[in-house]
Structures are given as C-alpha cells and as structure tokens.
Amino acid sequence: MSGLADFIYECGQLKKSPRTGWLSIGIKSPESIADHSWRTAAIGYLLAKMEDASLGRVLELCIFHDLHEARIGDLNYISARYVKKDSKRAVSDMARGMQCEKEITSLMSEVFAEKTRESIIAKDADLLEMIAQAREYMDSGNPDAREWISDAKRKLRTKSAKKLATELEKASSNDFWKKLPPLRR
C-alpha cells in the first residue's frame, strides 16, 4: 500500500489545475485537467467500440493520459516552446514504490509513444475532447476557439475520430437538450 494515499491525493491536483491553453483566447475559467480527462475517457470508450479495439486498454490510456500534469502542470502550446517538460520522469516519480509502479509507467510510455492502436485511439479521444470543448466555448461567444478545432482535426488518425469530429463541429453544443422530450407530469 506504500504511497497509494499520496498518489490519490496527487491525482486530485488535476481537479484543481486548469487547462491553460484556453486562457490565451480569453476563457476566464477554463475546464480542469480532470474535467478534460473524464470526457476524454468517455470519448475513448465510444472510439474503442467504433474501432473494435481493446476497450479496457483505451480506457486506461485515456484516464491516465495527462497524469504527468499533476506534477508539471498543463503547458500550453506557447509555454511548451520554452520549457522542457519531463513527463516520463514526473510519472515515474509519482508511481515510485507503489505496487502498480511498472504498470503505470508502462501505460504512460505507451501514451507518449502513440504507436499502438489503442494509444492512437486514446490520442484521438484527447483531440476530440478538445474539439468538443472548443465548440462549447464558441457557442458561448468565443469565436477564437474555431482555430483549435481546425488544428485538432488535422491531427486525428482514425476514421471514426474524423467522422465524429465533423459531427462535433457541425452540431451546436446546446442541441442535445433541445431534443429532450417534454416533461411528463
């Protein structure tokens, strides 16, 4: 059980840490890294089903894909040009001494390498989550978020993710509730 409590509390830092890239386009209270990771996992679930991939592995990769940011924070595209981030070391240090240390470091190595089918799907889920968030910010009145959608779409690799990106881009983030059936009394 060594270090598990510390690991759990350190994971909690992701709930307190904002996704900083959104600050550059004037979003005053951006989503947290944990918010982003949760919806990335939900999207990863859908993509794994659509692509007939290992559901469990995709979910593991999605849940932990930004784990290192509990230690190094979310370095946006501007900051990342000037700061060398040692994501592997951050994860290794976080997991050191835990019973599942090898599994977590192996999982994160797979995330960073983006070579397995499941890691590519997890990365696509990460990008699709950003597209959905950008669309929500656009629908809230921030037109600059559109560029984030175009950039993320170019990076998608699976057919399913590309199709889903088109749907996310076309639909209003408010459409879902407008389609709900009326309340029955």
Angle at 108 between CA 105 and CA 110, to 5 degrees: 115
Amino acid at 103: E
Q: Are 149 and 40 in contact (CB under 8 A)?
A: no
The C-alpha atoms of residue 11 and residue 69 are separated, in whole angstroms, by: 9
pLDDT higher than threshold 70 for residue 156? yes
Please write the tens of the pLDDT for every residue from 23-81: 999 999 999 999 999 999 999 999 999 999 999 999 999 999 999 999 999 988 888 88
Do 11 and 69 meet the contact criterion of CB atoms below 8 Å apart?
Answer: no
Q: How confident is the model at residue 83 (pLDDT cuts 50, 70, 90)?
A: confident
The pTM of this model reads 0.94
- At residue 84 the predicted structure's pLDDT band, cuts being 50, 70 and 90, is confident
Q: How many Å apart are CA 147 and CA 9, to the nearest integer?
A: 35
Separation CA 7–CA 32 (nearest Å): 18
Lookup: tokens for 86: 């040692």
**Which domains, from first to last, does the chain contain?**
4-168 (1.10.3210.10)
The residue type of 38 is W
Alpha carbon distance 151, 83 (integer Å):
22
| pLDDT tens digit sequence for 95-128 | 998 989 999 999 999 999 999 999 999 999 999 9
